[in-house]
Structure 1
Amino acid sequence: MSLASSDKEIETGQFSFPASWQDNVRMQVQFAMFRSRHLDAESYDAKMNFWMELIGKYLKFSGRPIFSLRNLQLLFMRGDQLPACLDTVISEMQKRKQIRSRSEFEHDPANSWSGWLVNSLVTRPLSWGWSKIKHSVVTEDLEASTLVEWIHLDVLNVCVIF
C-alpha cells in the first residue's frame, strides 16, 4: 500500500487518508493496541508500516516535523475512537532512529571536541543517572508522556530542503 501524495491532495489543500480509512472493520484493527509480534509478525509489521507511513505522510503534508503522541491521537481520531497503538509506533520509530525527542535534538552538542567531551563525560551520565533515580522513585506520568514532542528526521530534511 502506498501512501504517496495524490494530485487531489495537492489541488484541494486537504490531507487525504488512505482508502482503507473508510473501512470500519479494518480501521478497528488498525486502531487497536499491538499484539505481540511473535503471534503474527506479518500483520504486526503491516500495521506498523501503515502507521509510520501515515504519520510521515501527514507531517510532510503539514510541513511540520514536530509532533506529540497526543497530537497524533487527536489528529487521527475517527469519530470518538482514538488510536490506541501510537505509543508503540513512536517507540519503534525511535528505535529505528526515524525520530528524536525535541529536547534531545535541541540540546545536541555543537560539533566540537569540547562540546562532545562535556556531553559524553558530564551531561549524558548525569542525565542518565537522574532519569534512573527518578523512574525508580516516581511512577511515570502517562499524561506527560503523551505531550513529549518528537521530531521526524526525514520530514525535517524535506522541510529544510524546501
Structure 2
Amino acid sequence: MTLLRMIAIHLLAVLVGTVLVSIANTHVDLQALARIGAEIPFAVRLDASLRDLQGFAPTLLALLLVGFSIAFPAAGWIAALLGGGIWRPVGFSLAGAVAVMVMITSITLVYRELLGSTITPIAASRELGGLVTLSAGGLIAGLLFAWLKPASR
C-alpha cells in the first residue's frame, strides 16, 4: 500500500470520527435539555449540529488526528500479535473508542487539576452514557480504518 493511500485512509477515519463525535456531542446535550422538558424541533437540532461542526469540530479534528495516530498503530501491532483476523476490526474499533475516551477524560482532568476548574468542558461527557455515546464515533472511525486498510503481511 502506498504511503499516500495510507495517509488518506487515516485522514478519512479522523474526519469521519470528528463528524460523528461532534454530532453525538450536540445531540447528547440537546437530549439532556429535552429530558427536562425543552422542546427541540428538528430545525434547531440541525442548526446546533452545524454550529458544532463549525465551532467544536476543528479542535476535535486536531485532537483525533493525534489520538488516532497513536491508537491505530498500537492496535495494528497488537492485532498482528494476536494473529490478525477478527482482531483487526475489533482492535481498531476499540482503539478509536478508547482514543476518544482518553482525549475527553484528559481534557476534563487538565481543566480540573491544572486550571482548578470545576466545569466539564465537554458537557456531553459528564455522565458515562454521554462519554460512551461520544466514543461510539471513534469506534465507527476505527472500524472504517480497519475496513479500508489492507492487513499487513
TM-score under structure 1 length normalisation: 0.29
Higher strand share: 1
Rg bigger for which structure? 1
Instruction: Report 1 or 2 for greater relative contact order, CA contacts < 8 Å, sequence distance ≥ 6.
Output: 2
TM-score under structure 2 length normalisation: 0.30
Higher helix share: 2
